[in-house]
Amino acid sequence: MKTRAAVAVAAGKPLEILEVDLDGPREGEVLVEIKATGICHTDEFTLSGADPEGLFPAILGHEGAGVVVDVGKGVTSVKKGDHVIPLYTPECRQCPSCLSRKTNLCTAIRATQGQGLMPDPEIALAKVNPDAPFDKICYIGCGVTTGIRAVINTAKVEQGANAVVFGLGGIGLNVIQGLKLAGADMIIGVDQNNDKKPWGEKFGMTHFVNPKEIDGDVVPHLVNMTKRGADQIGGADYTFDCTGSTKVMCQALEASHRGWGKSVVIGVAGAGQEISTRPFQLVTGRTWMGTAFGGARGRTDVPKIVDWYMDGKIQIDPMITHTLKLEDINKGFDLMHEGKSIRSVVVY
């Protein structure tokens, strides 16, 4: 069949709207009509050419929602008409990774994932509540789930904890929302852009720091802020990098509490970049960890998050600052560069 798509023709070039040929579903595959797509920073990262797994030409987009229009032979878990969120990390429930119960990084289709393709088998689809609006729940396909589950699954934040979130974009605000759900006391947001302050506050941030506007280094500043009562060591119980800057990742580790602080890397750094710290930071009890898709198991966890949204337990609508037509998709990237959007969603 023929369909329209925004094609990334080369690194750093605007997307072009082209007509493309699409094969029908093969055995085990599902054809989904995508109704809405969120533009995530990782799309910009791939488009920029910094992603070692990004190949051109490509049709970007990993944050979407749609309807099953056809299924290939042997497909049993979804049928025509089902509402689904495609998963960039599938859940086969059979591979050693899925069976370990220790990771969400299913390896069933790693070969095609590594070629820059979104997977099409049924194990890469979460079937969701058909009453949920596509133009909102598409964001659960990456940003919302990554942020909220990084707090709950990866860091396992407990009530009364204090936390620092670096980068108040589409991911960081969901980390804040997750911290609020988990019952954190002090939630410090760090961003170079002051316009992000009211955004953080809307979702539960209690303090804001702009690293450009303080005297000296941001790490001792944060350590001082988190001293409380008899604890004059300072440092946050949990810190999160939601920027992708390796410099920030190191600051986040060092701003976590001696003895027990956990620092979670969520941001994706450019090809070949490295992080380093003095081993003493780890010897003295800090833990450096990372997460993909917030450790969520897509087919199991994503439908639950859609229900949380439908029940009003989490917010999505205010974060979707722009809704664009496919023709205007490049505007979504401009808004991101200018720091003017939290999430832009393209509707078809």
Ligand X SMILES: NC(=O)c1ccc[n+]([C@@H]2O[C@H](COP(=O)([O-])OP(=O)(O)OC[C@H]3O[C@@H](n4cnc5c(N)ncnc54)[C@H](O)[C@@H]3O)[C@@H](O)[C@H]2O)c1
Distance of CA 248 to the CA centre of its chain: 17
Catalytic annotation present for 243:
no
Cβ closer to Zn ion: 108 or 248?
108
Q: Does 292 bind ligand X (CB under 6 A)?
A: yes
Is the distance from CB of 87 to CB of 78 less than 8 angstroms? Answer: no
Among 54, 66, 141, 172, binds ligand X (CB under 6 A): 172
* Binders in 317-346 for ligand X, by CB under 6 A: 336, 339
Among 6, 34, 75, 106, binds Zn ion (CB under 5 A): 106
Which residue sits closest to ligand X, CB atoms considered?
169
Residue 196: contacted member of ligand X, Zn ion, none (CB under 5 to 8 Å, by partner type): ligand X
Residue 108: contacted member of Zn ion, ligand X, none (CB under 5 to 8 Å, by partner type): Zn ion
The span of 13-21, 35-43, 117-125, 279-287 binding ligand X (CB under 6 A) equals 35-43
Cβ closer to ligand X: 214 or 233?
214
Cβ closer to Zn ion: 142 or 209?
142
Sign of the alpha-carbon torsion through 125, 243, 338, 6 = negative
Is the distance from CB of 284 to CB of 256 less than 8 angstroms? Answer: no
Quote the CA–CA distance of 320 and 135 in Å, as a whole number: 9
Q: Does 248 bind ligand X (CB under 6 A)?
A: yes
Active-site annotation holder among 110, 228, 258, 278:
110
Give the angle subtended at the CA of 336 by the CAs of 294 and 153, to the nearest 5°. Answer: 10
Quote the CA–CA distance of 263 and 245 in Å, as a whole number: 14
Compute CA distances 342 → 167, 168, 317, 333, whole Å.
11, 9, 11, 11
What length does the chain have? 348
Quote the CA–CA distance of 45 and 58 in Å, as a whole number: 13
Query: Residue 83: what are its φ and ψ, rounded to 5°?
Result: -90, 130
Residue 271 neighbours by CB under 8 Å, 6+ apart? 50, 51, 52
Active-site annotation holder among 29, 37, 62, 250:
62
List alpha helices for 257-328, DSSP H.
280-283, 298-310
HSE (side-chain half, CA atoms, 13 Å) at 121: 13
Cβ closer to Zn ion: 170 or 235?
170
Residue 277: contacted member of ligand X, Zn ion, none (CB under 5 to 8 Å, by partner type): none
Cβ closer to ligand X: 176 or 336?
336
Catalytic annotation present for 106:
yes
Residue 117: contacted member of Zn ion, ligand X, none (CB under 5 to 8 Å, by partner type): none
Active-site annotation holder among 83, 89, 138, 142:
142
Query: Residue 76: what are its φ and ψ, rounded to 5°?
Result: -125, -25
**Is-cis flag, bond preceding 57, omega within 30?**
yes
Quote the CA–CA distance of 184 and 204 in Å, as a whole number: 9
Among 7, 59, 78, 95, binds Zn ion (CB under 5 A): 95
Catalytic annotation present for 110:
yes
Cβ closer to Zn ion: 113 or 256?
113
Catalytic annotation present for 250:
no
Which positions are annotated as active-site residues?
40-42, 62-63, 92, 95, 98, 106, 110, 142, 343
Provide the binding-site residues for Zn ion, judged by CB under 5 A.
40, 42, 92, 95, 98, 106, 108, 142
Provide the binding-site residues for ligand X, judged by CB under 6 A.
40-42, 45, 142, 146, 166-172, 190-193, 196, 211, 242-245, 248, 266-268, 291-293, 336, 339
